[in-house]
Structure 1
């Protein structure tokens, strides 16, 4: 049952409950929970990405609970039924910065009475939050799983510069170069940071439901042109090889972009991993909240306003046991050239596995939940042996 009668029921599998937890860093946090029937279980925390919700973990949670874990999945700041955040484009961005997201997660863990959790698992934008949780508080987050978005490590500080002339900060020419291509393009993260991005999706001509259907389809293994490979460099010519959901046509918004890849009614009817009855919950939630809460995360990243705070951890690596899971058909693994490799060589010092799951695109835990659950449980066992 939901804590508010004005909210619709969530179509959850047996064994998952919905609840609210107050006083979490200024938030009233909506949480899905499995394995809550008995106390004293080890805890696993699941952090969703964009445009998703705690609901995105519905297929994995019962499997982890059956293995003996207490599983907690929140609607993160900016999303779903969690309240206490501000979606005003002209409001403050400060609360959406990465280290405050870590504070949100710490507060949630503490509210549930845990001094530490066995693992934090993050998907997409949630992967960044999970990575910083493990980097900043390894005493609390004893292992980490990064999904669909590899972690490059903290931003570096300028090094060995005392005896040289000061170098001006160089502007990244890639956006100008993308716009100057014969087929002008733009990067989706910078588009997501614009004032109009929320309205483009929230008031999409096709409606929120069909927008999300096309968006999820376009980034899934169902879209047959998703056959990713490493890019050579962060240059316009290389980035232009990415699908349009990452590097968009310059004159199009995201709703127009994905509308071109809308699956047929027959394809939708045959979809097993995201039937329309489940998509309806996402579309109802995003119709209610809009997308700006999630877009604030992108704005924090593209603005560079909080980079200096992250540079405090320059040179640090994730030293707890770590694992990476992504769809084999997910371009997210390679969208930032060199990061997938850096994660395995320098950013994570105890990486125990790196898995690309066939038959999954970007929504790996929804497209291939059995495989993902198996890989998670194997890693949790391994991490304990190594810890």
Structure 2
């Protein structure tokens, strides 16, 4: 409904391809995935066939190598069709960026070729029970050095893509290290590893199709599967996760806003003789939501543009602004759309209650909005800030 800033023909073609899939295929399937808490396998087959599964894979390996601007708008369109597909797609695409930044040439050839040719999916696995990114994060998943690699043991929570992933980009801490910067490390663990066990099935209010199960890892990881040296994650830009979340939750809000406008234009409630759009209160609601949506889109676009410059501090500021604002706008838009529809809004035959449930996750996804605001405030006051912080655990032998 709102025009995008100027884009190249190549950028627009990718975004349009994503929008067409979301509109023509994903939207019709979304309710089923939600009701069954089922992974959107069909959507991922479509993404693979459209070459979008390799959206962030470098061209040298057969991928699209989309820039951040193209990526966020394509992701926003995908989320408009299916929230769970958008959220899990962001995890997969962000991890491919981490492999590109930290992996060896052998890693890139192996995993990128699998994504391009076979449609392999890679999940990002960091969150753990009883931990929170709102403070310094204490990883309890331990990488214990053994001949030939590491023995990895720990329990991970909110594992989006669950057992649908082909590989897990698993993050923990090396046993015996005294600081997170010296000890935080990541490795690729295949889903087929006998030490990978799903312990808790995902049963959430929203984002049900992400199947973000709880998974226990008790695996031998060869040294060849380790991605980067200990502490290497702290040397690269990790803002891709939060930038993607901004796009996803804005996309959900946009879907609700577009539904709201069409509903108001076409729905007449007796004894009125004109559609709801003629009522001043409805007009006010649409105006407020539409203005917030447009502002969030512009902020998202600016965040992607700044990320392309490589300015780490400027990126931290605007990405945190985009994430917290888009998450709030997505939740507000779905709630206002539901209220505008009245009692019909809570019925399952309309998508409004599903969008609202999905949007509930936005403000609490790390970096949670409270943490985003703290980071923004520190930066604007000229203070040192970090979106995510890790701390080494004591004792490290808890999962031996």
**Shared fold (TM-score, shorter chain, > 0.5):** no
Q: TM-score, normalised by structure 1?
A: 0.26
Whichever structure has more helix as a proportion of its residues is 2
Q: Which has the larger radius of gyration?
A: 2
